[in-house]
Amino acid sequence: MVEHIRQHRRFLAGLMAVLVAIGVIVAVTEWPSSNPVGQVLNPVNAQCRRDPAHVPAPPPGASNYLHTCGNQIYDAQGRLVKITGVSWFGLETPTMAPDGLWARNWQTILDQLKALGFNVIRLPFSDDALQPGAQPAGINYLLNPDLKGLTSLQVMDRIISGARQRGLHVLLDRHRPNRYAQSDLWYTSTRSEAQWIAEWKMLAERYRGNDTVIGADLDNEPRGPATWGTNDPKTDWRLAAQRAGDAVLSVNPYWLIFVEGIERSGNDWYWWGGNLSGVARAPVILNVPNRVVYSPHDYGPDVYPQGWFKDPTFPANLPSVWDSHWGYIAEQGIAPIVLGEFGGRSVGTDAEGKWQRALVAYLDQHDIGFISWALNPDSGDTGGILEDDWLTVNPGKESLYRPSLAPPIASSSSKAVSAPESLSVSYHLASAPSPTTSVSFEVTLFNHRGQPVKLSGTTLRYWIDGNSATTTVAVDWAAMGTSSVDAQVVAAPLGKQGGYIEIGFHDATLPAYGSSGPILIRYHRTDWGTFNPTRDYSFGRSTTDQAWPRIDLYQDGRLVSGTVP
């Protein structure tokens, strides 16, 4: 996000009409908030329904990729798309993992994002996180056991896979050249432009068959010496964006290319990454057409007291500020605008709140998509959509953003995405799988809903093969406390062999989007004789956490998940 600001002097863009003469102009249509995925809207230009670019047939998993037309974004089925997302940062920092995984399970965070109604996650990363063997930090592996042993890039893979399962989409954002700091330009003395482009090509190839990833936000907030349209290869961000965009599309022509602005155009100083006034005279032109999305950043007076916040007509003066720096691009049909970052702690009646409410109203009026900064509560200047506990939603921000949120974006495998059951269970083996005198395994319960769940009526069944009368079980350890967990061996129902270990709970509640933490169960024969656990129906060999359908989950006597033998 914005880290440094300069004084603003208003720039009057006199050449805006040039692009109108050569661009495709599409009238802005009002976004119907009730539009479901799959409904074809009524675009003014019917040619926009198909990608005007002549590209090869996409891989099956990327068949519903996105393209632009005029100031709108469409999917491959001709449906209008509006991006309304949120940034989840951390992969670009020294932890090289999305923040909050010290407090939450990653899957419940995605569940909460889905429930909040966002359709895109902007995922910032640093070049360091992409290097072979890069190890993430700040992950509580008791809460996220399936991330243990993964590199930072593999954690990114896991987040993208989970997003796909939930009908969410991902925009990748090269936020920093290294994990410690942003840079003025897209290259540094230790990180060349060639390396930057090579890493984007690697990512484009890695996710080429997956339309969950919608595109590349090429570089975060060019500023300082960055220029636009000067033709200086060392500073002209427009030319660099064209070089990188063409390289990405040569590998993966199904991505959108998000291009941020710069800080200064002539004597017009604006937010880092926010000044796109130069597009009027020098647009980004790529070898694959209909891929450019301009993505400015914009912030309020609590980040820096810019001159326009002191204008006596504030906040009525703000639309003209936004029009001249980036809004005109959408208004004139030059290209789509997705506001790539904005946010603030207040949505009230103070100056920060007035700015933020005026901005959201402007975006609605002009049918412009947005990505909020940020999900994370640990964003110093802006706070987050989540409060400091990483669970509670900021009610003011939710009430401001929710009416503006667009429908989900369909993917090549999209079907109606149903809400998950309130609880799910993961399992892994904690002892040797060979013939033994005892077996230990861990289970963890996850709450996928926004309300606490009492566990008094919840039980798990782990099916065994042997005689239940000669098998005993113990709860060796539980993150929630062994006093909250019971385990007993139950004889098999009539007509079935063996029996099952029943794990029950009392005086325990899972918080909203929380988990029980690991529960370690051990069972053995009463005579401590050797037995072969692989004969047990519920036995699994995985030593890393996974969903395991052979452990049955019951709530109040109802089978919620699992497969009864």
Interval 508-532: pLDDT, tens? 999 888 889 999 999 999 999 998 8
d(CA 208, CA 195): 20
pLDDT band at 38 (very low <50, low <70, confident <90, very high): very low
Q: What is the dihedral of CA 160, 164, 167, 168, to 10 degrees?
A: 10
Beta-strand (E) ranges in 199-313? 213-217, 256-259, 264-265, 268-269, 292-294
Query: Is residue 200 helix, strand or coil?
Result: helix
pLDDT band at 325 (very low <50, low <70, confident <90, very high): very high
DSSP state of 255: S
Does the structure show a pLDDT above 60 at 501? yes
Interval 328-371: pLDDT, tens? 999 999 999 999 999 999 999 999 999 999 999 999 999 999 99
Q: What is the structure's pLDDT at 106? A: 95
Q: Report the alpha-carbon angle 47-49-53, nearest 5.
A: 75
- C-beta of residue 461 within 8 angstroms of C-beta of residue 473: no
Task: Please check whether the domain covering 423-561 is classified as CATH 2.60.40.710.
Answer: yes
Q: What is the structure's pLDDT at 495? A: 62
pLDDT band at 415 (very low <50, low <70, confident <90, very high): low
Could you tell me the strand order of the sheet in which 558-561 lies?
Answer: 485-491, 499-505, 458-464, 551-555, 558-561
Q: What is the structure's pLDDT at 318? A: 98
For 442, the enclosing helix (H) or strand (E) is: strand 438-447
pLDDT band at 1 (very low <50, low <70, confident <90, very high): low
Average the pLDDT over 311-324 and give the result.
98
d(CA 376, CA 98): 9
Q: Which two tokens stand for residue 183?
A: 């840079």
- Per mean pLDDT, which range of 10-19, 141-150, 556-565 is the poorest? 10-19
- C-beta of residue 128 within 8 angstroms of C-beta of residue 175: no
Query: Is residue 379 helix, strand or coil?
Result: coil
pTM (2 decimals)? Answer: 0.83
Interval 439-485: pLDDT, tens? 999 999 999 888 899 999 999 999 998 777 789 999 999 999 999 99
d(CA 146, CA 318): 47
Q: Which of 92, 260, 263, 341 is catalytic?
A: 341
Residue 112's Cβ-count burial label (10 Å; 0-12, 13-18, 19+) is buried
Does the structure show a pLDDT above 60 at 7? no
Interval 52-94: pLDDT, tens? 999 999 999 999 999 999 999 999 999 999 999 999 999 999 9
Q: Which of 92, 221, 260, 352 is catalytic?
A: 221
Does the structure show a pLDDT above 50 at 20? no
Interval 370-409: pLDDT, tens? 999 999 999 999 999 999 999 999 999 999 999 999 999 9
* Active-site residue flag, 221: yes
- Per mean pLDDT, which range of 185-199, 376-390, 492-506 is the poorest? 492-506
Query: Is residue 310 helix, strand or coil?
Result: helix
Q: What is the dihedral of CA 36, 41, 46, 52, to 10 degrees?
A: -30
Write phi, then psi, for 554 (nearest 5 degrees). Answer: -115, 140
Q: What is the structure's pLDDT at 28? A: 29
Average the pLDDT over 38-46 and give the result.
42
pLDDT band at 15 (very low <50, low <70, confident <90, very high): very low
Question: For the chain, how are helix, strand and coil distributed in percent, rounded to 5?
Answer: 25, 25, 55
Write phi, then psi, for 47 (nearest 5 degrees). Answer: -65, -20
Taking the CB of residue 38, how many other CB atoms lie within 10 A of it? 12
Question: What mean pLDDT, rounded, does the chain reach?
Answer: 89
Does the structure show a pLDDT above 50 at 316? yes
CA distance readout (Å), 181 to 20, 340, 537: 39, 19, 52
Q: What is the structure's pLDDT at 25? A: 29
Of the candidates 337, 376, 297, the residue with the CA atom closest to the CA atom of residue 123: 376
Q: Which two tokens stand for residue 375?
A: 């999900």
pLDDT band at 45 (very low <50, low <70, confident <90, very high): low
Q: Could you tell me the fold of the domain covering 35-404?
A: TIM Barrel (3.20.20)
- C-beta of residue 526 within 8 angstroms of C-beta of residue 413: no
Q: What is the structure's pLDDT at 544? A: 83
Q: What is the structure's pLDDT at 545? A: 84
Does the structure show a pLDDT above 70 at 537? yes
Q: What is the structure's pLDDT at 282? A: 98
DSSP state of 236: B
Does the structure show a pLDDT above 80 at 115? yes
Whole-angstrom Cα Rg for the chain: 26
For 17, the enclosing helix (H) or strand (E) is: helix 17-22
Interval 266-295: pLDDT, tens? 999 999 999 999 999 999 999 999 999 999
CA distance readout (Å), 345 to 148, 301, 375, 464: 34, 11, 12, 54
Q: What is the structure's pLDDT at 37? A: 36
Q: What is the structure's pLDDT at 29? A: 29
The domains of the chain are located at: 35-404, 423-561
pLDDT band at 414 (very low <50, low <70, confident <90, very high): low
DSSP state of 327: I
pLDDT band at 492 (very low <50, low <70, confident <90, very high): confident
Q: What is the structure's pLDDT at 31? A: 30
Q: What is the structure's pLDDT at 32? A: 32
Report the relative pairing of strands 213-217 and 169-176 from DSSP bridges. Answer: parallel
